[in-house]
Amino acid sequence: MNGFFSVFAGWLIDGTGGPLQRNVLLTIKGGFVVAIEGLSYGKDYSTAVFDFSHCTLLPGLVDCHVHLFMSGTADQELREKQLAYGFEEVRGIISRHIQEHLSHGVVALRDGGDYASHTLRYKNEWLPQERHPVFLRSAGRAWRAQGRYGRLIGRPPHHGYTLAQSIALRDEKTDHVKIVNSGLNSLRHFGRETPPQFSLGELSAAVHAGERLGLKTMVHANGPLPVRLAVRAGCHSVEHGFFMGRENLEEMAGRQVFWVPTAYTMKGYAEQLDRGSHEADIAQRNLEHQLEQLLWARRLGLPVALGADCGSLGVHHGKAFHEEFKLLMEAGFPVQEAVRCATLNGAHLLGLEKELGQVKEGMPATFVVVRGEPSSLPESLSSPEAAYVRGKKMLRDSNILCYNSECYKANS
């Protein structure tokens, strides 16, 4: 429905981090929220089209770090096959993953890259045809140093060119720049740091090259030095940031650099590895340390945006975002602040703040409705009562997701 209608909600979390609102009526016209009213006794609300008085309403969710070409499956044989698939095979996988995100209330995605730019091609060639009601931003292929970690998601600079020169060539019309500046976290040695992949000068020139193209830069970095170089180079977001330390957190807060912590990746590893093994124990310690850093980030006022790193081992598309949300609350974020990290902060990072992130007058009507009080979050996000994108209603019926009279299998 894209005309004039109203929605009555028992609770509203508007995405700003402000206080909860009780018993609100949203009036929607032409896909926009034109009025938000509190309950007035004696007023006739019978004209409300949708009664969600038993539900909580919040903005549509934004996952700021996904890899749509990969599944979170623990089946190693299947994972290896997916890494060798051509576009025609990957296209169906990407489509299913988008459906899984939508069925969990995630309406905007920032992809961190894949080895063949499958997601970027999907966005440009197939997303309009599939008509998924999702905002998708893609890095195409990430940039990594020659011989260093990142082969599955990117490539080194072009032969004979610097990193900045390679970015400036813009052989792919990407939505942002992704740079890998460290390796993975060790599951053998707690807190071990890998050397940076690029120098401060190389990173600074690369960030500026992206900015001249109107692109933000996201940097994969773990450990004090790789993160420090990324932050001082002027990156717009640090991805992962495990073991980066208090000084980096303080500097990021001062510069208002976004942090996408992807904490659930370590829980995913811990749950997939043999219980009681050394690797599982290290993964759990990594997770606990990341939650401690999140506590400091909140105290410092560092802007956190949620991203689950879906596609990593044990990190399933859609579902994992709620697990990341849960970890944020375990780290000390009240529900309103956790919602801000999952909505408005992500919208700002993706440059979509005029499209989504808040429920307020004048904004497009893009929001999720979940059963129960706010205290039911994030578990209630596993099966939203309904969702609206630009004023059009999506319905969840069993494993079918319907949008504007179009239906998609949600969990195939």
DSSP string over 71-109 = -----HHHHHHHTT--HHHHHHHHHHHHHHHHTTTEEEE
Chain-centroid distance, C-alpha 340: 12
User: What pLDDT shows up at residue 76?
Assistant: 84
152 & 192 share domain: yes
| 404 and 334 within one domain | no
* Residue (of 382, 405, 387, 403) closest to 100 by Cα position: 382
Do 345 and 198 share a domain, yes or no?
Answer: yes
CB contact set of 356 (below 8 Å; sequence gap of 6+): 59, 60, 62, 107, 108, 135, 343, 347, 363, 364, 366
Place of tokens 């900045």: 164
> Does the model's pTM come out above 0.85?
yes
Residue that terminates a domain, selected from 298, 330, 349: 349
Here the CATH number for the domain that contains residue 45 is 2.30.40.10
Quick one: pLDDT at residue 4?
85
Question: Are 211 and 327 in a shared domain?
Answer: yes
Examine the domain organization and report whether 17 and 126 are in the same domain: no
Same domain, 104 and 42: no
Residues 55 and 65 in one domain: no
The answer to whether residues 150 and 251 belong to one domain is: yes
Best CA proximity match to 104, nearest among 409, 380, 398, 392: 380
Domain with 379, as residue range(s), is 4-59+358-409
- 313 and 391 share one domain: no
Domain edge (last residue) among 318, 349, 380 = 349
Q: Find the CATH number of the domain harbouring 233.
A: 3.20.20.140
pLDDT for res 358: 98
Give the C-alpha separation, 291 to 293, whole Å: 5
- pLDDT by residue for the chain (412 residues), tens only, comes to 447 899 999 999 999 999 999 999 999 999 999 999 987 655 665 555 789 999 999 999 999 999 999 999 888 888 888 888 999 999 999 999 999 999 999 999 999 999 999 999 999 999 988 778 999 999 999 999 999 999 999 999 999 999 999 999 999 999 999 999 999 888 889 989 899 999 999 999 999 999 999 999 999 999 999 999 999 999 999 999 999 999 999 999 999 999 999 999 999 988 888 888 999 999 999 999 999 999 999 999 999 999 999 999 899 999 999 999 999 999 999 999 999 999 999 999 999 999 999 999 999 999 999 999 999 999 999 889 999 999 988 755 433 333 333 333 333 2
For residue 375, with 0-12 CB atoms within 10 Å meaning exposed, 13-18 middle and 19 or more buried, which class applies? exposed
pLDDT of residue 2: 47
Same domain? For 100 and 72 the reply is yes
**Bond from prior residue into 378 cis (ω within 30 degrees of 0):** yes
Cα distance between residue 317 and residue 320, in whole Å = 6
Residues 301 and 345 in one domain: yes
Among 325, 349, 373, residue at a domain's last position: 349
Q: What is the dihedral of CA 263, 267, 273, 274, to 10 degrees?
A: 140
Residue type, 263: A
> Are 150 and 117 found together in one domain?
yes
For the chain, the domain total comes to 2
